[in-house]
């Protein structure tokens, strides 16, 4: 991404706008806090100044009470010469306004608190400057008035520094927030740019491309993880769709060819019986093709998750018991034996009809692909916090390197190609198990094959 487009993208990004908002909030909040602090300090400094004036007035009043006017004048003289810059200045006048002691101007207020502008010599600027004094006038016996004043230079200097500090802090916080917002915004835009690049590649056909981790926090990483999981699921479905299309084109070619040949033979028949026999064979072949399509549609529907909302608590023990009871006579007629080991009352979250079809497919599959004298076993039991269901036989089994392949649509073992079937039975079983979040494993039964399902219990599943 070029520097100029990146800068424009950052300035227009939501992250930078949030940074501007927070910068304004921080600046206003900081200014309010600093203004409040300033007001509190100013109030405290004013109260401290007035307190010092009242304390000085009490001291001089005590001098007057003890020593009279002469002692008061001497005390004012002593306090006025405590250093180069005495803390207080005074004005003592009688009833007619005649000055007795002190050097405050005659415009000073004689009673209560007041403020006075006094022209002072400012050594720093080599000239005169107006100075603000805070004064307190106190009446004394014999119609005397004592006024005490102190300058507010230090208080005003402190307030000025506080105002400057408040303004500087507000500007600094705002600038810091803007710089931080730009930095975070540029980082976020770069991360999103890499994500958008991956998305564009995916839309261009690179279905194996995956989104990089955004890395701005666990919630963003979880988002990219979930999106990648969704892409994996979509890629799997699309690959499955392509595989189904290929399988249909390959595996339905044979029954359709047979159907065409029978119809061609039927066209040349002269007798009604031969014609009827040909029609029956063609219908049987058509039913076989339709059964394959129905199975494919059912598998596709299950793999898309359809029906997951209909899952309820079902008695898995009762379902397996019902299937085993229905097939026990069929197994005996085929010269085989059915053994049933069912722990009662085991419930899972599922669809009873689909589960019954799943076990039915497994029993029929075992009946077709095992010889006479084979023992079939159906079992349901609880183990390690899960519900286990098994359908096993002691027949020829399935080679280990082909157990995953038999779950794929239309895949058939070489030994099974002479038996009826389309290679969709175990694919449908796998789709039903996946819908029920059941772990499916094909294992050795020593001898034979054991198909093992591990269902989560109803409470943990729902």
Q: What is the mean pLDDT of the chain?
A: 79
Phi, psi of 216 (to 5 degrees): -85, -5
What pLDDT, on a 0 to 100 scale, did the predictor assign at position 340?
A: 94
Distance separating alpha carbons of residues 407 and 397, to the nearest angstrom: 14
CA distances (Å), origin 287, targets 104, 283, 293, 426: 123, 6, 10, 20
pLDDT of residue 450: 93
In the block, residue with structure tokens 């107006």: 130
Structure-block tokens of residue 348: 């899972």
* Distance of alpha carbon 104 from alpha carbon 305, whole angstroms: 96
86 vs 74, 117, 149, 225, CA distance in Å?
Answer: 16, 17, 11, 76
**Full pLDDT tens readout for the chain, 462 residues:** 445 554 555 566 666 677 667 767 776 777 787 778 878 888 888 888 889 989 988 999 898 888 888 888 888 888 887 766 788 889 899 888 899 898 888 888 888 888 888 876 654 544 567 788 889 999 998 889 999 988 887 777 877 887 788 778 778 877 877 777 677 767 777 777 787 888 888 888 777 788 787 766 677 778 888 888 888 877 776 776 676 666 666 556 767 777 777 777 777 777 777 777 878 888 877 877 776 666 666 666 666 666 666 788 999 999 999 999 999 999 999 999 999 999 999 999 888 888 988 898 899 888 988 999 999 999 999 988 899 999 999 988 888 877 777 666 555 544 444 445 455 668 778 888 888 889 999 999 988 999 999 998 765 444
Q: What confidence score (pLDDT) does residue 406 get?
A: 67
pTM of the model: 0.46
* pLDDT score recorded for residue 419: 46
Whether 116 contacts 105, CB under 8 Å:
yes
Residue 230 bridge partners (DSSP) = none
Q: Could you count the other beta carbons within 10 Å of the beta carbon of residue 441? A: 12
């Amino acid at each position: 991404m070029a520097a100029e487009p990146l800068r424009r993208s950052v300035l227009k990004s939501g992250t930078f706008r949030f940074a501007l908002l927070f910068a304004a909030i921080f600046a206003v909040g900081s200014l309010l806090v600093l203004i409040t602090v300033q007001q509190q300090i100013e109030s405290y400094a004013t109260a401290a100044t007035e307190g010092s004036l009242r304390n000085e007035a009490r001291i001089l009043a005590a001098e007057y009470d003890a020593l009279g006017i002469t002692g008061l004048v001497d005390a004012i003289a002593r306090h006025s010469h405590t250093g180069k810059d005495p803390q207080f200045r005074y004005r003592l006048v009688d009833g007619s306004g005649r000055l007795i002691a002190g050097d405050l101007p005659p415009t000073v207020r004689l009673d209560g608190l007041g403020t006075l502008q006094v022209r002072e010599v400012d050594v720093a600027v080599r000239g005169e400057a107006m100075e603000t004094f805070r004064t307190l006038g106190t009446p004394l016996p014999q119609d005397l008035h004592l006024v005490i004043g102190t300058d507010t230079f230090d208080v005003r200097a402190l307030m000025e520094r506080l105002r400057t500090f408040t303004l500087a802090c507000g500007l600094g916080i705002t600038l810091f927030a803007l710089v931080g917002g730009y930095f975070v915004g540029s980082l976020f835009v770069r991360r999103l740019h890499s994500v958008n690049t991956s998305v564009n590649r995916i839309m261009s056909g690179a279905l194996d491309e995956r989104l990089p981790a955004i890395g701005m926090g666990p919630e963003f990483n979880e988002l990219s993880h979930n999106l990648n999981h969704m892409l994996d699921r979509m890629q799997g479905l699309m690959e499955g769709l392509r595989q189904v299309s290929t399988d249909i084109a390959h595996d339905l070619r044979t029954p359709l060819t047979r159907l065409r040949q029978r119809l061609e033979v039927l066209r040349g028949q002269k007798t009604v019986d031969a014609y009827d026999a040909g029609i029956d064979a063609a219908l049987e072949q058509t039913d076989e093709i339709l059964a394959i399509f129905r199975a494919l549609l059912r598998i596709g529907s299950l793999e898309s998750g359809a029906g997951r909302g209909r899952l309820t608590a079902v008695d898995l023990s009762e379902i397996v018991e019902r299937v085993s009871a229905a097939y026990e006579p069929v197994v005996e007629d085929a010269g085989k034996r059915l053994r049933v080991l069912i722990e009662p009352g085991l419930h899972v979250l599922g669809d009873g009809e689909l589960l019954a079809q799943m076990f039915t497919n497994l029993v029929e599959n075992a009946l077709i692909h095992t010889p006479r004298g084979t023992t079939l076993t159906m079992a349901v039991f609880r183990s390690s916090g899960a519900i286990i269901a098994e359908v096993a036989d002691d027949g020829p089994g399935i080679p280990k390197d082909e157990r995953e392949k038999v779950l794929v649509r239309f895949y058939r073992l070489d030994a099974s190609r002479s038996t009826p079937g389309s290679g969709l039975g175990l694919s449908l079983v796998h789709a039903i198990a996946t819908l029920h979040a059941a772990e499916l494993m094909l294992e050795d039964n020593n001898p034979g094959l054991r198909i093992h399902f591990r269902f989560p219990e109803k409470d943990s599943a729902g």
